[in-house]
Amino acid sequence: MATSAEHHDLLIIGSGSGNSLISEHWKGRSVVIADSGTFGGTCLNVGCIPTKMYAYPAGLAALPPEARSLGVGLEFTGADFPAIRDRIFTRIDGISRDGLRYRRDDLDYTSVIQEEVRFVGPRRVRTASGREITADQVVVAAGSRPTLPAIPGLDLPSVHTSDTVMRLDRLPRRLLVVGGGFIACEFASVFAGLGTEVVQVNRGHRLLKQHDMSVSTTFTKIAARRWDLRTGWTPAGIEPVEDAERAADGWVRVRLDRAEGQEQTGIVEEAIEADAVLIAVGRTPNTDRLDPAAAGLDVTDDGVLASDEHQRALSDGAPVEGVYVLGDVANTWQLKHVANHEARVVAHNLEHPDDLRANTLGPVPAAVFTHPQAASVGLTVEQALADYGADAITVKTQSFGDVAYGWAMEDTEGVCTVVAEKATGRILGGHILGHEAANLIQPLVTGMAFGIDAHRLARGQYWPHPALTEVVENALLGLDVPDSGLL
């Protein structure tokens, strides 16, 4: 005998970008949000926002060496980590708490289920406590979680993920960071800037390997100067140190093995002691926690829910009526601006089922808020070579130190690489490492999004002199592309 279910007009699984779907349209209807985590999702609570609120003060703390090279004496006297932490989370926790109260208590047409849910049929879920919910329309926006390697010792109190490391009671004396991607590099940069002795362990020999080689190799060299970088290693296990007093203070011993496929140097095992460990090897979409097979939903080889151009979930390749997907559970970008745009598409399509809008926005930029920053959009040089061939593309790498503002900073490391189609000037990709890279990438995003060729983008507008944006302008002008006729 089937369990009776409570019915709603709309069920939203996840309270991150999915929370933004609720508009005045739903007034007088019944909307329920199900989320077993902290209300507000990853970006607000454990992702984009708090990490950048750490990255900014850490960047200030890293300035004295740069200032000294310019004849200015600055001194870093230490970081009040609890004060930084409390400034961040007093604000963020308040936003999360107020958001939950507003949806759960203040609006008479919305409710919140603070439990994990799993599908038990099409547009039907069961909560962890056994409640069954059905809805006319369902949006799956369940997000992702930190990926954990299968090694012993992950349950020790000193072992953290990005979900927990920002709420430490004190600044670690030595932090071991495992991983070499966006999250690992941002936290290594933050804690090194604030005064922690950082050891970063990465399986490969390049950090930020998804970025263009010009960015990845340069950043790896910078990181190796700023903190202790160990490449070609992978963690094998974590255990308390033998000394009881140090163990009581949280110190652990992390055993490392040579990564498979990496060249051997005679040493095949190493151990590092630290009073905090951050496991940052990526994030896993929460697809597996939803039991999508019970609802007949397709899952891609990347582990995310398959969807069409309207963000509708697919079943056997066909769109499922009334089921939409968005965010980390539906794409491999794992970027908040992507999830937010998908939410706008879904919000429209929920409210206007006879006038569906497609998600055609592109290209997708990404930024890493290390010191210095890295940013990218489109194809890397290596990808462009593979897709188009060497004769069909043109590449220019412009150094920050070759433009006036770069001279002002005495910058010797910043680079801007642009790759374009030689015959047309169409911009295929842009990659920047250096001061304010996250902002500098935007002109290239604009050019690619609106089909502005490289020469027209450079010559068809003023670039304020001597702003650092001239590094982008000069990179565009350095490409071997057709002249647009503009002076």
| Catalytic center residues | 465
Apex CA 73: angle with CA 70 and CA 74, to 5°? Answer: 110
Spatial contact of 29 and 10, defined as CB atoms under 8 Å apart: yes
Q: Going by DSSP bridges, is the β-strand pair 427-434/252-258 parallel, antiparallel, or unpaired?
A: unpaired
Tokens of 432: 């920047």
Apex CA 219: angle with CA 218 and CA 225, to 5°? Answer: 100
Spatial contact of 408 and 442, defined as CB atoms under 8 Å apart: no
The residues with which 393 forms a beta bridge, in sequence order, are 421
